Amino acid sequence: MHTMPNIFAKTDLSECFKDLADQEYEDVLKSGCRVIIPQKNILFHQGDPAVNVVLVNRGRLKLTKLNEQGKEVIFRYISTGELTAAVAVLKNWDYPVTAEAIEKTEVTLWDKPTILQHMQKYPAVTANLLNTILERIDDLQNRYLEVCTEHVNQRVARTLLRIMRRAGTRTRSGIQIDIPLSRQNIADYAGTTLYTVSRTLSTWEKRGWVKSGREQIIITDPHSLNKFAEIG
C-alpha cells in the first residue's frame, strides 16, 4: 500500500460530495490522502482505532467482521464513489470491521479534524453523509428482518440481487457480478451454510436463472430471481 498525489478527477464520484461545485470538490479531494491498495491487501483491521474516513475512488473493498466464534462474516462491499468508516471516526470508535481490497483499489482518506472542517464549511456534505448513514442503517434492518422472517432460499436470492445491483455489469449472457464471489462468500453474506447455497444455486442453474463458475456468478434471469425473492 502506498500514497500518491491527490489529483482532482471528475471520475471520483461520491454521493456525499455530489452537491459541491467543481472547485469545492477539488479542494475537498486535495485535503485528503490518496492511497493505492494492492489486491487482497488490508486497509484497516477490525479493532484498530478508527482514524480515517475512506472514499473509494476506484476498485472495491470487502468489509468483514469476526463473530464471537471467530468466523469471518462478510458485512458489506464498498464500491467506487462510496464512503466507509465515517461513523466510527466521528464517534472515536474502533473500526468495527476489516477492510480488504478485492482488486487493486484507490482510496482517499480524511482524518476526523479534516472531515469535520468540510462538514462545517459545506452543509450539503453533512446532509448527504447523514442520508448515507441512514441508508446503511435501513439496509442492515432489512437484512436482519430477512434472517428473522424469510426462508433461506429467499435470503440467498436477495443476497445475489443486492450484490448484483451494486456490482453488476450487463453482458450477452445476463448480468455478471464483477467481484470474486465464492459460494462460501454468498453463504456468509446470507447467513446460511455452504451446502444450502450450493444446493440452491444448482436448482436455479437448472431453471436458467443463474450461471455459476469459480468465484463467478451471472444472473441470467433477474426477473425470475427477483420474483422468487419477493414471494418465495
Q: Which CATH number fits domain 152-230: 3.10.105.10, 1.10.3720.10, 3.20.20.100, 1.10.10.10?
A: 1.10.10.10
Helix axes 194-207, 183-190, angle to 10 degrees: 110
* Statement: residue 142 has pLDDT above 80: yes
CATH architecture observed for domain 15-143: Sandwich (2.60)
Task: Compute CA distances 76 → 24, 87, 204, 225, whole Å.
Answer: 30, 15, 24, 21
89 sits in which H/E element: helix 86-90
Closest CA to 188 of 69, 104, 73: 73
Return the residue matching grid coordinates 443476497: 159
Q: What is the pLDDT of residue 65?
A: 93
Residue 146 banded pLDDT, cuts 50, 70, 90: confident
* Statement: residue 7 has pLDDT above 50: no
Domain with CATH 1.10.10.10 in the chain: 152-230
Residue 71 banded pLDDT, cuts 50, 70, 90: confident
Question: Burial of 160 by CB count in 10 Å (0-12 exposed, 13-18 middle, 19+ buried)?
Answer: buried
Q: 192: which 3 cell numbers?
A: 446460511
Residue 1 banded pLDDT, cuts 50, 70, 90: low
Give dist(CA 7, CA 10) in Å, integer: 10
Domain with CATH 2.60.120.10 in the chain: 15-143
| Lowest mean pLDDT segment, chosen from 11-20, 92-101, 137-146 | 11-20
pTM for the model stands at: 0.85
